[in-house]
Amino acid sequence: MLTHLQIRNFALVEQLELELKPGMTVLTGETGAGKSILLDALGLALGNRADTGLIRHGASRSEISIEFELVDRPEAGEWLEAHDLDDETACQIRRTISTDGRSRGYINGRAAPLQLLRELGEMLVDIHGQHEHQSLLRREMQRQLLDGYAGHGGLLTELAALHHNWRTIQEKLEQLQQANKDRDSRLGLLSYQVQELEALGLASGELAGLEQEHQRLANASQLLEECQQSLDILYENEDLSASSLLGQASQRLESLQRVDGTLQGAAELLSNATIQVEEAAGELRHYLAAVELNPERLSWVEERLATLYDLARKHHVEAGQLADLLPSLQQQLQELEQVNIHLTELQHAIRTARDEYTVLAGKLGTSRGKAAKKLGKAVTDNMQLLGMEGGRFEIRLLPLESDGLSPLGRERIEFWVSANPGQPLKLLSKVASGGELARISLAIQVITAQSASTPTLIFDEVDVGIGGGVAEIVGRQLRVLGKHCQVLCVTHQHQVAALAHHHLQISKESCNGQTRTLIQALSSEQRIGELARMLGGVEMTEQTLFHAQEMIERGQALD
């Protein structure tokens, strides 16, 4: 529900702030007072195209800010959350336009493109009588109205689930059929690759072992020579080996520590060093006994490594991944060999899914047909009361042009109307008269109000061209509609104004050579005076005032 409106420097409005309430609110004023300014400001906030000519003369920028309470529209809250624009249960939309042509939109204080303002606005406000934000002209809204009127929420949820299931199976089938097109060539290639890798017989960790062995065999001569030299230095050179020299130093310290006991630590370290040198020499002897020059083994290792690297390049993998490649190719080969089995299973599953969808879609279509006749008759009857005698309204269900399945059923919904007797039915979107379109919209909205999803409905001069009893019927229907959602109505008719729950008066005043538009929420007494003015007459007589008060009281008695 629209709760707050603030306008600054827009058209003739210098500054305006309004608190709006539930129920039916009328906006009245003398001709030329600017009753459409409020609707123009709302339209701008909800994403309409900006026009710098709407900026108040002398100002550099216009700003419109509107606030909504989302308790009655949880879907809008979910939309805000999905776009990371949520802010508890309230929602603020702000729009600014500058004289330099720049325009900016904000949702809950965060910058947002105009497309998002329009999407959110369509959930919250529906303006009738103007073509902007008139969702009733969209086929999707027509479908929603019919389905909402018929209570199809559960059926649609179930149908969407069946459609999703069918679509998922269909996608799997298409993927498998595509893969099956080159099955023979793919099967032959996979078989060859699997046989090749199986023949290779690559063991886990073999590559690392081969690379290490190759490193050793390729450098065997250097290893033997330098390890022998190291052994000579450590032990086998009798005069200058590290072991001999350490032994001599150790003997000297053993003698000297008898003279000075503090040399015991150094003597022990030398003794340990001698032991470690002897152990290192033993390790080198063992290593030299194991290392040999083996050109045949080196050749075989190099050939084996070359085979592994060639296969890795062939399969576009790292050599270390070859061991894991064989199980993957074996699984692909098995799946491809069983593709016909899978195809048969999927084809059976898709027939079952389509049959289930068709049954439920048929049930939905039958229910839509019944609801369309019932709603069409009710709207036609209501049109007679709204000054369109002989008018007709019809809802047509047409099969979808595509053979594909839709999550919303197998027919499209179209609203057709004839506003005058003897005239052929036309698509609702082709109705030329804004006044007729507004009243047709009113006739539909009143009947579908119980299931309406848009919380705020705005009617711009729906009473154009009518008067008397028909105008009172319009007012009564708007008041009834106001029990189910918030209704704002711009009107010239006292019969309509008298039936409102709340009354806003638009007026103009001139001061210091400047004109500005004012909007005032009327008290009970002020409302009687405004209604008396609308009743006509130059003088405000007691009889006129009494009549105005009587009309208001009659309207209040309807609740």
* Tens digit of each residue's pLDDT (9 = 90 or more) over 144-176: 889 989 989 899 999 999 999 999 999 988 887
Q: Residue 449: what pLDDT?
A: 67
Token pair in block for residue 315: 């399969």
Which residues touch 121 (CB under 8 Å, ≥6 apart)? Answer: 45, 46, 47, 93, 133
**Buried-exposed string 462-501: b where 16+ CB fall within 10 A, e elsewhere:** bbbebeeebbbbbbbbbbbbbebbbbbbbbbbbbbbbbbb
Q: Which residue would you say has higher pLDDT here, 516 or 550?
A: 550
Q: Domain locations in the chain?
A: 184-337
Q: Residue 33: what pLDDT?
A: 61
Q: How confident is the model at residue 414 (pLDDT cuts 50, 70, 90)?
A: very high
Q: Which residue would you say has higher pLDDT here, 224 or 544?
A: 544
Counting beta carbons within 10 angstroms of the beta carbon of residue 389, is it exposed (0 to 12), middle (13 to 18) or buried (19 or more)? exposed
Mean pLDDT for the stretch of residues 326-344: 77
Q: Which residue would you say has higher pLDDT here, 415 or 507?
A: 415
Highest mean pLDDT among 163-177, 423-437, 453-467: 163-177
- Is a pLDDT exceeding 50 seen at residue 283? yes
Mean pLDDT for the stretch of residues 168-197: 78
**Buried-exposed string 246-261: b where 16+ CB fall within 10 A, e elsewhere:** beeebeebeeebeeee
What Cα–Cα distance (Å) separates residue 434 from each residue in 42, 220, 299, 386, 427?
19, 99, 94, 14, 14
Mean pLDDT for the stretch of residues 537-557: 84
Give the up-direction half-sphere exposure of residue 246: CA atoms within 13 A in the CB hemisphere.
20
Mean pLDDT of the chain: 83
* Percent helix, percent strand, percent coil in the chain, to nearest 5: 60, 20, 25
Q: Residue 451: what pLDDT?
A: 66
Q: What percent of the chain has pLDDT over 70?
A: 89
Highest mean pLDDT among 111-115, 331-335, 426-430, 456-460: 111-115
* Distance in angstroms (rounded) separating the CA atoms of residues 253 and 267: 6
Token pair in block for residue 345: 């299973």
Q: Which residue would you say has higher pLDDT here, 141 or 231?
A: 141
* Distance in angstroms (rounded) separating the CA atoms of residues 392 and 384: 9
Q: Which residue would you say has higher pLDDT here, 402 or 27?
A: 27
Model pTM? 0.61
Q: Residue 543: what pLDDT?
A: 87
CA angle 409, 414, 418 (to 5 degrees): 160
Q: Which residue would you say has higher pLDDT here, 199 or 32?
A: 199
* Distance in angstroms (rounded) separating the CA atoms of residues 230 and 223: 10
Q: How confident is the model at residue 233 (pLDDT cuts 50, 70, 90)?
A: confident
* Distance in angstroms (rounded) separating the CA atoms of residues 337 and 310: 28
Mean pLDDT for the stretch of residues 112-141: 79
Q: What is the separation, in whole angstroms, between the first and last Cα of the chain? A: 21
Q: How confident is the model at residue 131 (pLDDT cuts 50, 70, 90)?
A: very low
Q: Are 391 and 383 in contact (CB under 8 A)?
A: yes
Q: Residue 45: what pLDDT?
A: 92
* Distance in angstroms (rounded) separating the CA atoms of residues 409 and 513: 62
Q: Are 107 and 119 in contact (CB under 8 A)?
A: no
Q: Residue 222: what pLDDT?
A: 72
Segment among 40-49, 194-203, 357-366 with least mean pLDDT: 194-203
